[in-house]
Amino acid sequence: MTDADDLRRRARDLLAAHPPSTTGSGDFLRARFDAGLAWVHYPEGLGGLGAPRSLQAVVDAELEAAGAPDNDPRRIGIGLGMAAPTILRYGTEEQQRRFLRPLWVGEEVWCQLFSEPGAGSDLAALGTRAVRESGGDWVVNGQKVWTSSAHLARWAILIARTDPDLPKHQGITYFLCDMTDPGVEVRPLRQITGEAEFNEVFLTDVRIPDAHRLGDVGDGWQVARTTLMNERVSIGGMRLPREGGMIGTVAGTWRERPELRTHDLHQRLLTLWVEAEVARLTGERLRQQMAAGQPGPEGSGMKLAFARLNQEISGLEVELLGEEGLLYGDWTMRRPELVDFTGRDAGYRYLRAKGNSIEGGTSEVLLNIVAERVLGLPAEPRTDKDVAWKDLAR
């Protein structure tokens, strides 16, 4: 049985065979994956050892202390937090072996082709069509929007409508789409911050082999729910130290700039500090619960708290800084690889936080999920649930 001592021994064996000081980052990460130390709770041969998820921290601490490289998880967060667990659960053995290793190592960046101009909060109303040809391949046409990292991605997780005669939740199929294929066009979307971390993606006669279908035909909504639950946990349940994230930035400013303090701001800072700490500890509990299996709807609550806290904390920071808080240093069009909250000014953090209540599921939709699936409250009336998608008003 794999326990903490066994994992420490395996980590030390990896370090001895591949010293970080003389081994290239890519070579070390590939060796780590092959040793089963990438994500220890995954099966053997897929970067893991079938060990409890909670033991991943043992490996991470051992390797971090030795100065081993990481896989830049912020850059490949969509792959790690969304694509990988979905491929693990629904993918064929061939798909798992093809995609998981380069995904974890960071050789292939992933993006998510879900939202559409007419299917955001009501994602199941999506209209992108995938039509199967006689040879078995699929031809996809449609438009996706708010796609993070599409300009960097090699692969995408994609949901498309394959049967318009069925109700909207039933006629959807899930695919893995090669972003370098002909017919995939990525256009930047300029945000209020001046950046373009998001994109709109146009799919014109894009051919996807049936071997890149994930799950059964028509079962795409069920597969997508796995992706969405993992997405909300990865956004709302990020592991942070005490005073990590935005609250640490504001608390640091408070300590360094006593001339900015007022009694009212002090009370608000204390309240938000406590709420941020509660959210951090709740995230730790959620990760422990996840050790036994797939995330549940509780992740929606964490994502809700994350969005609200970020917006309130960034607003407090702008108010604390007064005129300085109104400054914004860079309006040039940029296409960043990462969203950097900590390395920018307060004006940037305030503007960027506005998107937190939209991305990863709007707060309004997540409140419904928490009400119905966590609290057990009556569901909202839905008159379109059993109507064929083609007959829905649009």
Q: Specify the CATH number for the domain of residue 120.
A: 2.40.110.10
- For residue 325, which phi and psi values (nearest 5 degrees)? -70, -20
**Same-domain check for residues 8 and 140:** no
120 burial type by CB count under 10 A (0-12 exposed, 13-18 middle, 19+ buried): middle
Residue (of 313, 324, 329, 308) closest to 250 by Cα position = 313
**Same-domain check for residues 364 and 264:** yes
Q: Which range marks the domain in which residue 37 is found?
A: 4-70
**Same-domain check for residues 320 and 345:** yes
Is 259 a known active-site residue? no
In tens, the pLDDT along 250-265 reads 999 999 999 999 999 9
pLDDT value of residue 40: 95
**Same-domain check for residues 293 and 352:** yes
Parts of the chain with a pLDDT under 50 = 292
Tell me how many domains the chain contains.
3
| Residue 280 parent element (H or E) | helix 263-290
By DSSP bridging, strand 198-208 and strand 138-144 are: antiparallel
Domain boundary (70, 96, 120) is at 70
Residue (of 9, 171, 152, 183) closest to 72 by Cα position = 152
**Same-domain check for residues 246 and 340:** yes
pLDDT value of residue 242: 80
pLDDT value of residue 296: 64
pLDDT value of residue 292: 47
Q: How many residues does the chain have?
A: 394
pLDDT value of residue 374: 81
Domain boundary (175, 203, 218) is at 218
CATH number of the domain that residue 279 is part of: 1.20.140.10
Alpha helices in 257-362, H assignment, sequence order: 263-290, 298-321, 346-353
Q: Which of 231, 259, 277, 364 is catalytic?
A: 231
Q: Is residue 97 part of a domain?
A: no
In tens, the pLDDT along 182-193 reads 999 999 999 888
**Same-domain check for residues 173 and 237:** no
pLDDT value of residue 111: 96
Q: Is residue 362 part of a domain?
A: yes
